[in-house]
Amino acid sequence: MTYETITVDVTDKIATITLNRPDRMNACSLDMAGEINDALSTLGDARCLIITGAGRGFCSGADLQARGGKSISGGEGSYIALTRHYNPMMMNLARLNIPVITAVNGAAAGVGCSIGLAGDFVIAGKSGYFLQAFVNIGLVPDGGASWMLPRMVGKARATEMMMLGEKISPEKALDWGMIYKVVEDADLMAEARALATRLANGPTLAYATMRKNILVAMENSYSEQLLAEAEGQRIAGSSEDAMEGGMAFLQKRKPEFKGR
């Protein structure tokens, strides 16, 4: 399918969604949120997803200019935009059954920060940065940021990001445990692709169960999480990949996972 605000490529079991409004620093309009949502449900046989931005920025946040052009504006307009467009996009990204890598080039601000940090592996180029810009225009964090950040970096650092509204460099983000790796800008996509290739050749069903368990872990009690792990192991343990992994271990060879 052809989209207006993103591009989608699936090659060698790796899907790449590129936010493609470089003239607007890939600001996420309602249309872009809808197109990302649609793309997430049509990735075919992809076994790993990379999300990145075209041009010099990852995503500069929600497109306030586009939002202002709607008939409903202000706080009520923001509420409708979030509940009908941005929140479903973030939930579908969280529930995706394949690993997600975000390759952050330049600004990841506002809801773009949430999209950038939603990856299982966040790789940032040295020009990248993370910004909770909301306070600077009298708004509050959205896109799941107030759930995500305290769990990633703790209350004090999350409060710093949200209330001071200052850029977090990729080096600081790495030090805080927000991201996986910092690389030279020129190496960003090569690094993301290499990791995606490794994941795409891994046990896809097991990855899907890991993603689900990590998502619910912070809300579950210890006993609930033990049960979730047991349920996940029942699913993964019945897969062809688990059988292959066991045979490969016994035969002292590298397993060839098929994602089944």
Higher confidence at residue 74 or residue 192? Answer: 192
Angle, CA 186 vertex, CA 144 and CA 193 arms, to 5°:
60
Q: What angle do CA 131, 137, 139 make, to 5 degrees?
A: 85
pLDDT tier at 73, thresholds 50, 70, 90 = low
Categorize the per-residue pLDDT at 64 as very low, low, confident or very high, splitting at 50, 70 and 90: low
Q: What is the per-residue pLDDT for 72?
A: 43
* Residue 231 predicted with pLDDT over 50: yes
Q: What is the mean pLDDT of residues 102-107?
A: 96
Residue 69 has what pLDDT? 47
pLDDT digits (tens, 9 = 90+) for 154-179: 999 999 999 999 999 999 999 999 99
Q: How confident is the model at residue 242 (pLDDT cuts 50, 70, 90)?
A: confident
Element (H, E) at 118: none
Closest of 155, 149, 151, 156 to residue 132, by C-alpha: 149
CATH superfamily of 6-200: 2-enoyl-CoA Hydratase; Chain A, domain 1 (3.90.226.10)
Average pLDDT over residues 37-62: 94
Residue 65, pLDDT score? 67
pLDDT digits (tens, 9 = 90+) for 182-223: 999 999 999 999 999 999 999 988 999 999 988 888 888 878
User: Per-domain residue ranges for the chain?
Assistant: 6-200, 204-250
pTM here?
0.89
* Poorest-pLDDT segment among 67-76, 99-108, 171-180: 67-76
Mean pLDDT of the chain, nearest integer: 89
pLDDT digits (tens, 9 = 90+) for 133-146: 888 888 889 899 99
